[in-house]
Amino acid sequence: MKSFSYERPESPAAAAAALAATPNAKFIAGGTNLLDLMKLQIETPTHLVDVNGLGLDTIAPTPEGGLRIGALVRNTDLAADARVRRDYGVLSRALLAGASGQLRNKATTAGNLLQRTRCPYFYDTAQACNKRRPGSGCSALDGVSRQLAIIGGSEACIATHPGDMAVAMRVLDATVETVDALGHERAIPIADFHRLPGDRPEADTTLKSDELITAVTLPKPLGGTQIYRKVRDRASYAFALVSVAAVIQPDGTGRVALGGVGPKPWRVEAAEADLPRGAKAVTAGLLAGAEPTRENAYKLTLAERTLGAALTEARA
C-alpha cells in the first residue's frame, strides 16, 4: 500500500473541506472496498479523511412520512431497522443479499453507493482499463465479459455497478443528500447519482470532488409486495449476474429496477406500464437498446426470467 496521511475531521463540512484541501484525498468510512483497492494499488490516495467520527449514523422519520438514513448507518443496521423491514422490505432484502455478515457490519450506506466496479480488468493492473487509468483502453470489450454490462455501456467501458442496495434505492426513488467544502447542501435524485461511462468512465457518480454524502432519504412507503431477487454464481456471498428489485401493487402495477446489467441500477419508468402484461413485455422496454457481448447475451433471457419469477412471487 502506498503511503498516505490521515485525519479525522469533526464536522461534515470540515470533512468536505479537508478533502478539497489535499489533491487525491479520499474519504474512508467502512473501508471494506477502499482498503482492498489500496492494497492492490488500484486506488492510491495521498490522504485519508476518516469520517467515522461524524455521527451521521441514525435513521430518522422525515416530515413527509419517509426515512432519512445517515450516511454512516452500517448495512447491518439499515437492513435490521424495524421500519425498513416493515415499510421498505425491498431495501432490507437487497442489503441482506449483498456481501457477508462481516462486511455488512462495517460497510456504510454512503460507502455502498460509492463502491467501485468488480470488473476483472479494473482489478488487474496489468490490463488496460479506462476506469482505472483513463485513456488506457478497455480490455473487457474483447475479453471475459460474462459478468459485465449489457446496457448503458460505451466504447470506453462496459463495467457494471456491482451493488444491490442502490438497486432497491432506485426503485424506491431515494434522494442522496450532500454537503460541500463551503457548506452548501444538495439533494441528488438516485436516478441522477450514478452516471453512464460515455467517454469518461473514471467518474462513477455525479458527485463533485469536494462533496460528502450526509444522508439518503426515502420517500413515504409505497406499500405493495416488495421483492429483491438476485441470481448469482453461488448461493451466498457473490455479486449479482442479474438482480430484480420490485414493488408490486395488488392491482399488478408497480415498479422494477435491475442490478447487474448496467453501469447504474437500471430502471425505465415507461416500461413499468407493461407490468400487468408480464415480464416479457416489461423486459422488452426495460432493456431496449441493449448491446450485450457474445459472453453476456444470456443476461437478456436471465433478466426476463428473473423478473418473471419475481412477478409470480408477488402474485402468490
Residue from 58, 86, 209, 269 in contact with another protein (CB under 8 A): 86
Q: How far is CA 55 from CA 11, 69, 84, 182, in A?
A: 9, 12, 20, 20
Residue 83 or 305: the one with the smaller Cβ distance to another protein is 83
253 is an interface residue for another protein by CB under 8 A: no
Residue from 96, 245, 256, 279 in contact with another protein (CB under 8 A): 96
- Min CB(307)–another protein separation in Å: 19
Residue 237 or 312: the one with the smaller Cβ distance to another protein is 237
Interface mask (CB under 8 A) for another protein, residues 9-28, using x and -? -------------xxx---x
52 is an interface residue for another protein by CB under 8 A: yes
Residue 235 or 270: the one with the smaller Cβ distance to another protein is 235
Residue 127 or 175: the one with the smaller Cβ distance to another protein is 127
Question: What CA–CA distance (Å, rounded) separates 211 from 10?
Answer: 16
Question: What CA–CA distance (Å, rounded) separates 168 from 185?
Answer: 24
45 is an interface residue for another protein by CB under 8 A: yes
Residue from 85, 118, 200, 305 in contact with another protein (CB under 8 A): 85
- Min CB(227)–another protein separation in Å: 11
- Min CB(152)–another protein separation in Å: 26
2 is an interface residue for another protein by CB under 8 A: yes
Contact 163, 171 (CB under 8 A): no
Residue from 93, 131, 229, 255 in contact with another protein (CB under 8 A): 93
- Min CB(193)–another protein separation in Å: 25
237 is an interface residue for another protein by CB under 8 A: yes
As given in the structure block, the three cell numbers for residue 230 are 438476485
The candidate with the shortest Cα–Cα distance to 116, out of 166, 176, 69, 170, is 166
315 is an interface residue for another protein by CB under 8 A: no
Residue from 66, 70, 89, 224 in contact with another protein (CB under 8 A): 89
- Min CB(77)–another protein separation in Å: 9
Residue 302 identity: L
Residue from 47, 186, 195, 305 in contact with another protein (CB under 8 A): 47
Sign, CA torsion 1/99/104/172: positive
118 is an interface residue for another protein by CB under 8 A: no
- Min CB(18)–another protein separation in Å: 15
Tell me which residues touch another protein (CB under 8 A).
1-6, 22-24, 28, 31-32, 35-36, 39, 41, 44-47, 50, 52, 76, 79-80, 82, 85-86, 89, 92-93, 96-97, 99-103, 105-106, 125, 133, 235-237
